[in-house]
Amino acid sequence: MSRWSILTAVVVTQTGSISLVYGLPFLIPLMRTTEGITLTHAGTIAVAPLLGVLAMLIVWGALADWFGERLIMVVGTLGTGLSGIAAATLPGIGGLTVALIAAGAFGSSINVTSGRAILAAFDVAQRGLAMGIRQSAQPLGLSLAAVLLPPLGEAWGYRQALLVPAGICVVMAVVVAVVVPGRPRASRAEVRAPSPYRDRRLWRVHGAGALLVWPQFVASVFALTYLVSEQGWDPVTAGAAIAVIQLLGALGRVGAGVWSDRVASRMRPMRLIALAGTASMITWAVGDAVAPTLALVGLVAVLIISASPNGLAFVATAELAGPAWAGRAMGLHNTGQNSMAMATAPAFAAAVTAIGWPWAWPSAPCSR
């Protein structure tokens, strides 16, 4: 198979996984109406998959380093789909939460294995572009969830809506088995290669990647709720608008990757994008306090800009770690990002409840 076929399979697989694992926030209004729960409770359930993600990222990375990416990606993609089916059918909030955690645990395998597949298929001159396209799967998955889940939730129920992304994952498990090449099991010397964590630059990349998750996750989790509760939009219209904006975020990731290839640097574009992201968060906050139209401008900017640097951090991590450690390093990097993401939803929801929307944004750690 060609490298572009591999990249296409990776992107579609990760898009389906993201729409399931990170799609529940688009069902928060329906969840609250159906279950009679608070915004904080609903936000906590919406990030339940991150418990599974955090528990398994480094494990999947190590397994991918040892056994290659195809086997681990197939197992993870199939497990994600079956867990999504369980989330739609198991009774009670407890059953839903457990199934979502399992979906996150299996889905996390795709994060690290797809990165390894890109690292192996593309050389350094095109790696930023390829990883940017691969990382566009996150906004594409969120866009798919924003378009599909609210109307399906209203028609079928918020849980049954999860059957669509779950079905995508089951189908893509078969596609991955055919398209992604198998690789020989790592030798003992490769497994025991010296740790790349003696290089402080790798730790700095992990730290920057984690901090940049805050505005991205605030926007992706609470944009629909904000538009419905503060701007008076209906959920379906809000979801469609967010879907279009997420597509622009996907293009932003690709553009950032091309930019990094052109300047032969991953970190220089990341720094400039981080500054722009901080400015967009401030615009959203000020606009909410003084002018609803300005708040919408800020929200759109946050959704696009905050999504852009993610691929750069992954490329930098993989390149600094090297092939023998790429899976584990990307697993650790993603663990830091998802730790921040998991703290973001309940913390921000609690801040909104306590002090209101316009004052909650300046409490973000990345805006300091």
State residue 186's pLDDT score.
52
Q: What angle do CA 8, 168, 30 make, to 5 degrees?
A: 125
Query: Which of these, 215, 230, 244, 252, lies nearest to 348 by C-alpha position?
Result: 215
Name the average pLDDT for the chain. 83
Q: What's the chain look like in SS3?
A: CCHHHHHHHHHHHHHHHHHHHCCHHHHHHHHHHHHCCCHHHHHHHHCCHHHHHHHHHHHHHHHHHHHCHHHHHHHHHHHHHHHHHHHHHCCHHHHHHHHHHHHHHHHHHHHHHHHHHHHHHCCHHHHHHHHHHHHCHHHHHHHHHHHHHHHHHHHHCCCHHHHHHHHHHHHHHHHHHHHCCCCCCCCHHHHCCCCHHHCHHHHHHHHHHHHCHHHHHHHHHHHHHHHHHCCCCCHHHHHHHHHHHHHHHHHHHHHHHHHHHHHCCCHHHHHHHHHHHHHHHHHHHHHHHHCHHHHHHHHHHHHHHCCCCHHHHHHHHHHHHCCCCHHHHHHHHHHHHHHHHHHHHHHHHHHHHHHCHHHHHHHCHHHC
Q: Tell me the pLDDT tens digit for each residue of 186-216.
A: 555 555 667 888 878 888 888 888 888 888 8
State residue 92's pLDDT score.
86
Whether 181 shows a pLDDT value over 60: the answer reads yes
CATH architecture of 3-186+219-367: Up-down Bundle (1.20)
State residue 123's pLDDT score.
80
State residue 192's pLDDT score.
62
The whole-angstrom separation of Cα 311 and Cα 307 is 9
Q: Tell me the pLDDT tens digit for each residue of 118-153.
A: 877 888 778 888 888 888 887 788 778 888 898 999
Whether 171 shows a pLDDT value over 60: the answer reads yes
Whether 356 shows a pLDDT value over 70: the answer reads no
Q: How confident is the model at residue 338 (pLDDT cuts 50, 70, 90)?
A: confident
Model pTM above 0.85: no
